[in-house]
Structure formats: structure tokens, C-alpha cells
Chains A and B, each alone.
Chain A
Amino acid sequence: MFDPVFIKVLLGTLLLAASSSVVGAFSFLKGESLVGDAIAHALLPGVVLAFIIGDGRNPFALIFGALLAGLTAHYGISYLEQRTKLKGDTAISLVLSTFFGFGIMLLSAVQRTGHGQQAGLERFLLGKAAAITLSDLYVFAALALLLLASVALFYKGFQLMTFNEDFAAAIGLPIQWIRFVFTVLTVLAVTVGIQSVGVVLMAALLITPAAAARSWTSSLRLMLVLSAAFAATSAVLGTVVSASLPKMPTGPWIVLALGGIAFVSLLFAPENGWLSRRKRAKGNQLKTQRENLLKLLYGAEEREGRTVAMTSETIVGIRRQHLDGLHKTLRSLKKEYLLVEREDGFALTEKGRTEGRRVVRLHRLWELYLTERLGMAADHIHPQAETMEHIITPEIEALIVKELGNPELDPHQSPIPYEED
């Protein structure tokens, strides 16, 4: 397994995957993921022209031709998007497909045969990692270095270009130039990346690592590092699998590995993964229901001036909520000794009463804040307070109390219940 060819392929794909994923992370965040895909396809006519002019395998002619085609395509997409009524997606797919078709026509004209084109096209379309040579490796390493250096050098500019172009322009950054540099880098990464995974799968190297990394972190720096790491891992996996199976192409395995990583990340990542978002939502839901129940009991006690017990049927009658959900809420409250179950139903403990009082207090404070400070009408404030009472932290509560000067009554003339201590 560790023969020189394998090592070369491994190093080559590693460098390519890692460097293109860093570029891809920026376009992902800009919401321009598919532009990279379009550029990859659009390179074909440039590459064919370079092939004619450069007389075969002159790498500089190749890169120059690709750069020219890639920049033209990129310009074409932005022109159509900004100057015509065509939408972004149409502009992208239009440029992608017509450039590619034109490339195929050129190719067939060069080769003057109906089907000879297919041999030349294969490397372009699906890549041929196995054909990576030592001199290719030098080119890849140089490119990776160039990309990393540019990202380090233009980090601030790229960051602003990605998140807030208007702001970048307003503080006097040459945003046009930064965007140009970024486009050139994208085209370079795509040009070289195509050699190992091909046109079709190039989009995966640009997009998938970024999407996977995004679900782990919200920090740009960390996201760039993670994207590169995911891409590199997939490159290793893909190379190993394709080396151990006969006749297996490397590119598709890299992409499949990336797909797997992305799938796992999107589902299970602690920051933005589906599972943790769902768990958070569930947790919030339970918290809200618990607080609403305590508020209900506290309100009843306030009205009647004594301890009140309610059966779950009574509560369902008032709150119109599902009985199963209510039992779950009641169980969780009982477990923490906020409620006790008596013969005539559930009643607040002292701890539960304090908590219910807190929710009612926040509700009334927020209602008062809305009328006093934001000038809202008293009959419009209840729904907002229903939401905010679950969100306001003790620190914000203290600020509101101070801001309103320790108020006694809410807008509906109900007392605001403070802790008696």
C-alpha cells in the first residue's frame, strides 16, 4: 500500500482538498456555493483553447486559459444577475451549461472526430488522481501555500467581503479588488482541483466540508480549520479505499467520504446539529410549560388568598393542553419539589411558590416596561409578556426594576410580587 504512487496520490489529494475547502468556506458563507460549480464547468473552453495555444501540456498556458475562462464566467454570472431580470440560479446554470457546451464543441473541432473527444474529456470530467506526478505535487504544494498565504494576508478583507460588503466599502476597503483576488483564488483552486476529482465533483470539495464545519462552530477561524481538516480526512479515506479496491476512481470516494462526514455533522454536531437543536427546542418547551403551570397555580393562590390545589383535569380544562404533555410537566416539577401531589390535586411548595411568583413578576414588569417606556397600549402587551417572562434573566430583571424605579403596580393595576426578605 505504501508504494510511491500511493504516497503521491495521497499527498496530492490532501493538498488539493484542504486548500479548495478553505476557499469554499468563504463562498459557502457568502451563499455563492454553486458559483464554484459553474466556474469548474466553465473552464472547459479555456482549457481547450490553452491546449491549442500551449501545444499540449504547457501548465502555464493551461492555468492561464482556465483563469481567463473562469473569470469570464464569473463576470458573466454577476452581469446577468445584476443587469437583467434573470435570477441568480438561472444566471449560474446558464453560464455553466453554455460554456461547457461551447467547450465540447471546441474540443470536437480540435479532435476532428465524433467520439475521440471522450478520451481527452475523461480526465477533465472525473479527474484522475492516480495520474498525479511529482511535478504536479510541486504545483499543488505551491498552490496550497499561495492560498493559505492569501487567506492569512487578506483575512480581514475576505471576512468583511463575506459578511458585510457594504460595511467594508464604507470603511474604505477596496472591495472590488478583494473580490477579484478571491475569484482568482477560487479559479486557481478549481483549476488544479479538477485534476484529482474532476469537474462534477469539484463542487463537493468546495461546498461539503464548509457545510459540515458550519454545524460544529460559529467562529470563522475555527470553521476554516475544520473545513480543511474534514477535506483532508476525506482525501485520505478516499485514497485508501480506491487503492485497496481494483479499478476504483479516487474522486468519487473522496466525495462519498465527505458526504458521510457532512451527514454525521449535520445530525450530531453539538453546536448546530439537528439533534442538539431539537434537544434545545424540547428543553425550552418543557421550561416554558413548567413555568406556565407554576404561574397558573400562583395566580389562583393570589386570587383566593390561600393555598390552592388543582387536579390535572382542572388544569387541562384551563390550559387546553394535551394530557400526556401535562403529566410530563407535572412529573418534572414534582421531582424537583416545586409541586406536591395531595388528595385534592397538585399544590405549590414554598420553592414552587417562589418560582411562580418570579414568572408572574417578570410578566408584569415586562408589561409595565412596554407601556411606560415603549408607549404600547395596555391591551396589546399581554402576548409579548407571555414570551418574555420565560426569557428574561435575573440580571435583566434587576435592570428593568431599576429603570422603572421599583414599581408597585402593573398596567392592569395588579401588584408586582417581589420577594419578601
Chain B
Amino acid sequence: MSPTLAIALTASFTAVSCALLGTFLVLRKMTMVGDAISHAVLPGIAVAYWLSQSRASLWMFLGAAAVGVFATVVIEVLRKKLKVQSDASIGMTFTTLFALGVILITFWSDSVDLDQQCVLYGEIAYVPFNTWSTGALNMGPIALWSSGLLLIAVLLYIFIGYKGLKMSSFNEDYAAVLGIGVVAWNLSLMAMVSLATVVSFESVGAILVVALLVVPAATAYLMVDKLSHLLIGAGIIALLASIGGYGCSRLLDTSIAGTITTLLGVQFLIVLAYHQLIQKQQQHAVA
């Protein structure tokens, strides 16, 4: 497989997975929780990595998902039991966990081949060189596999949980009345976001994952209303940005993840400008 194709595919898989999950975060007004989780999983990664001594292991994913859910629970406890307003409880939780993660990594820096940099901003350009094999057969880049599996997992999750996710995203109380486990859907969504974050670390890093989670969904949100349209729209926007961003980054010789994010921003600005223009015309027509 050519390196170009491997990078393009990995970027697309990651971007689409994040965009789909992010749609629910935007609808639930929980994008900052996604942001928090992407930082807070650091100690989970550090501990799992220290225990298993390997990157991209199942342990690492599980550790990160566990800490992601833990962070969600801490945020809720701060908010409900300790009466801290929700934005502050998010900020407190993720900074403290992130600081803990940095400290753990520094503590184990002799025995663990993991540094803050590779977590904060992965480098997708290295994806093709990090391969795995079974026996004599070269199975190709690890990140390609993990991002592909992530996409399948996300699609399955949304397919199976469509109704529960939909109801609990739009009207929590009504969903609870219908007997839908609101808390369970909330936590499982956060576990999926944590998983997506970890898988994306290798390629785009913790901070740009947030862009993938939020921007495609927000762009689609300006254009359409229906959930299914939102999901499809966010997916297409993410796909366009990841392929286009990769192309641009090769032309301009810039960071791939940075360029993808910038393109996401440009797409958003275009849609926003169009949206505001239409709105103004409509107001004009009414007046």
C-alpha cells in the first residue's frame, strides 16, 4: 500500500468517526466535555502504557476509555453534589487529570517510551512506517487498522443505539419517561469519545481531536436540522476536509493535522457566511 493512500485513509477514517460522535456532543451541548475527555485520558494512557509496555495495545484503549468515563463522572459529581457550575467543573477536572498525566509520564520517562509531544500532537506523516505483521505477512500500518476498526465500531454503535442516542440527545426527560437509560447512553457515548480520542492521538493529537469532534458537526448544524442529515453532513464535511487537507498540506509543505483543521475552519466560515447571507435575505423578504 502506498504511503499516500495509507495516510489519506487513516485521516478519513479518524475524521469521519470523530465527526459522527461529535454530532451527538454538539446536540447535547457537551462539546467541552469532549474537549475535557481528550485531555483527561492522558493519565489513563500513561498507566496503561506503563503496565503493558506497548503503544496501541488493547490495554491502552481500555485504560483511556476508563479514564474518559471517570472524568465524565467526576464532572457530574462536581456539578450535582458539590454545586460547582458546569463550565468550571469541566475546566477543573480536565486540567487536574492532564497535569497528573504529565507528571506520571515524567516519572516513568526512563522506563516508558512515551512523551507528552506524541500525545499532544501526533504526527500522521509517520503512520505508514509503523506497521505490524503476523508471521511473514506484513499487515500494513497499525494506525490504519485501528482507525478502520474505530470507524466500524462507531458505525455499529450509532446503528444499534440510534433511537436511544437520538431520544436522550434531544429530550432527556422524555427519553427517561420512555424508559430509555439516559445515564447509560451518556456514559457509553463518552466511552466512545474516549476511544476515538486515543485512536486519534497517534495521528492528530489531543487538541486537534476536538476540531474533528466539533467543527464538522457544527458546520452541518448550520445547514440541516434532522439528525440523520446532520450525521451524513458531518461525515461528508469531515471526509472533504481530511482528503483536501492532506492534499493542501503536501502542496504547502505544512503539518497535515494542522492543515486539515484549518480547512475545517475554512469550510465552516464559508457555510457560516452563506448561512448569514441567506438569513439576511429572508429577513429582508419578510420586512
Binding site for B on A (CB under 8 A): 28, 31-34, 37, 41, 80, 83-90, 92-94, 96-109, 112, 114-115, 117-118, 121-122, 125-126, 200-201, 203-204, 206-208, 210-211, 247-249, 251-256, 258-259, 262, 266-267, 272, 274, 277
Asked if A90 and B26 make an inter-chain contact with CB atoms under 8 angstroms apart, the answer reads: yes
A396–B101 alpha-carbon span in the complex (Å): 56
B residues 242-287 near A (Cβ < 8 Å) are 249, 252-255, 257-262, 264-265, 268, 272, 275-276
Scan B190-227; emit 1 where CB is below 8 A from any A CB, else 0: 00000000000000000110110111011001100000
Asked if B100 and A256 make an inter-chain contact with CB atoms under 8 angstroms apart, the answer reads: yes
A203–B32 alpha-carbon span in the complex (Å): 13
Asked if A104 and B31 make an inter-chain contact with CB atoms under 8 angstroms apart, the answer reads: no
A31–B87 alpha-carbon span in the complex (Å): 7
Asked if B103 and A256 make an inter-chain contact with CB atoms under 8 angstroms apart, the answer reads: yes
Known contacts being A101-B260, A103-B258, A252-B103, is A203 close to B91, with CB within 8 Å? yes
A64–B114 alpha-carbon span in the complex (Å): 35
Asked if B261 and A89 make an inter-chain contact with CB atoms under 8 angstroms apart, the answer reads: no
A-B pairs with lowest CB-CB distance, top 8: A101-B261, A104-B258, A105-B258, A98-B265, A97-B211, A204-B95, A259-B96, A108-B255
A37–B39 alpha-carbon span in the complex (Å): 12
Q: Which residues of B contact A88 (CB under 8 A)?
A: 29
A122–B26 alpha-carbon span in the complex (Å): 30
B contacts with A: majority SS: helix
24 sample A-B contacts, Cβ–Cβ < 8 Å, listed by A number = A34-B90, A34-B91, A90-B26, A90-B218, A93-B35, A98-B215, A98-B264, A99-B265, A102-B265, A104-B255, A104-B258, A105-B261, A108-B258, A118-B117, A203-B91, A204-B96, A207-B92, A207-B95, A208-B92, A210-B88, A211-B84, A211-B89, A255-B95, A267-B82
Q: Which of B91, B120, B222 contacts A37 (CB 8 A)?
A: B91
> Which residue on B lies nearest to A88, using beta carbons?
B29
> Which residue on B lies nearest to A29, using beta carbons?
B85
Asked if B98 and A200 make an inter-chain contact with CB atoms under 8 angstroms apart, the answer reads: yes
A262–B91 alpha-carbon span in the complex (Å): 12
Q: Which residues of A contact B121 (CB under 8 A)?
A: 104, 118, 121
Q: Which of B26, B99, B252, B276 contacts A259 (CB 8 A)?
A: B99
> Which residue on A lies nearest to B248, using beta carbons?
A105
Q: Which residues of A contact B34 (CB under 8 A)?
A: 93
Question: What's the least CB distance linking B40 to chain A, in Å?
Answer: 11
Q: B76 at the A/B interface (Cβ < 8 Å)?
A: no
A252–B101 alpha-carbon span in the complex (Å): 9
A104–B207 alpha-carbon span in the complex (Å): 11
**Which residue, of B94, B98, B208, B217, has the highest number of chain A Cβ atoms within 10 A?**
B98
Question: What's the least CB distance linking A20 to chain B, in Å?
Answer: 13
**Which residue, of A97, A99, A126, A204, has the highest number of chain B Cβ atoms within 10 A?**
A97
Q: B131 at the A/B interface (Cβ < 8 Å)?
A: no
Question: What's the least CB distance linking B66 to chain A, in Å?
Answer: 19
Asked if A122 and B117 make an inter-chain contact with CB atoms under 8 angstroms apart, the answer reads: yes
Known: A85-B221, A90-B221, A97-B211. 6 other contacts (CB 8 A): A93-B34, A98-B261, A117-B255, A122-B116, A249-B103, A274-B82
Q: B106 at the A/B interface (Cβ < 8 Å)?
A: yes
A259–B87 alpha-carbon span in the complex (Å): 16
Asked if B261 and A201 make an inter-chain contact with CB atoms under 8 angstroms apart, the answer reads: no
A251–B268 alpha-carbon span in the complex (Å): 34
Q: Which residues of A contact B96 (CB under 8 A)?
A: 204, 208, 255-256, 258-259
Question: What's the least CB distance linking A83 to chain B, in Å?
Answer: 7
